[in-house]
Amino acid sequence: MALTLATIRNGIITSLHGRRLGFDVNDVLVGSKAIKRPITDATSDTTGTDLPNTGIVSVVTTTNDTWALTAPLAGVEVTIMTGSDSTGEHTIAGSTAAGTAATFQSSESSTGPGIVLQGGNASMTLVGVSTALWRATSRIGTTRAHVSTA
Amino acid sequence: MSLSLEALRNRIITSIHGRSLGLDEHDRLCGIKGRREVITAATSGTVGNLPNYGIITVATSTDATWTLDDPEVGCEVKIMTGSASTGEHVIQTDNATIKSSFSTTQVEFTMQGGGAGMTLVGLSTSMWGILTKSSTTAVFVTS
């Protein structure tokens, strides 16, 4: 079941950059080894700065802290993970471009205003469903990684 | 709450290839249906390191160990068992560590059973972060 890079590149019928990037017969983007995503490190000293709504975001606090998450863009993912083993509550609150609250949807709640991560390597990947709604597509956590209900 | 391909393509303000690929007003890449990734099928007889990108299946009927190339910062790799074997599929890092719930200095993880998988992302050139993990039998990080 292998699919080599050379095989994938052989399927390019519309080249964007030689054999390194192009479209195949199904209009699927092919040819690159990977896509590099930005990584943001947020700490208890940066709670006044909104977290970006894309890429990978690490949050660290030794106690309990809350960060605001930039308003979602429909169809765009962001992954938020704890950056230490701290037992503090890492709370991420949603907001919209208009300054109102964005909501989060998960299996636990459809109307949560935020998410809480606790413990080492807790993480949640969110996708913007609209400009005011995030939906969790995956989450892991040993202590807590869930949508808060209040 | 749908978002159609046409709607996404209508948002392109910087075209890279017509309406098939471009950037929207937030500099997000859009217009594509999907992205095809490399799939590497490794077995107990595979020689050399596993690549640090794409999708990797590992299969062994007993217990086997593979070494994963060190990470590229910001890039993901998805590793999963390629069979329902109950053998221990052990993935060791080359020189990097794995940030996990148990410690920040683990250097390998074990998958067991069908449907076990883990998605890793390079947090630095010497540290992997875990984005997702799933299992029916076992997926855990060890030192």
Element containing residue B30 per DSSP (H, E): strand B29-30
The reply to whether residue A3 touches residue B38, judged by beta carbons under 8 angstroms, is: yes
pLDDT in tens, A91-112: 999 988 888 888 888 765 556 8
A5: nearest CB among B38, B57, B76: B38
Give mean pLDDT, residues A60-64. Answer: 92
Q: Is residue B137 predicted with pLDDT exceeding 90?
A: no
Q: Does B75 touch chain A (CB under 8 A)?
A: yes
Neighbouring CB atoms inside 10 A of A91's CB total 20
Give the pLDDT band (50/70/90) at residue B104. low
Does the CA dihedral A134-A135-A141-A143 come out positive or negative? Answer: positive
Give mean pLDDT, residues B120-126. Answer: 92
- pTM over 0.90? The answer is no
Give the pLDDT band (50/70/90) at residue B84. confident
Read off the tokens for A85: 């083993």
Q: Does A25 touch chain B (CB under 8 A)?
A: no
How does DSSP assign B70-93, residue by residue?
PPPBT-EEEEEESS---S-EEEEE
Please tell me the predicted confidence (pLDDT) of residue A98.
87
**How many residues belong to chain A?**
150
B36: nearest CB among A24, A36, A141: A24
Higher pLDDT, A19 or A112: A19
Give mean pLDDT, residues B17-24. Answer: 94
Average pLDDT score over chain A: 88
Q: Is B52 helix (H, G, I), strand (E, B) or coil?
A: coil
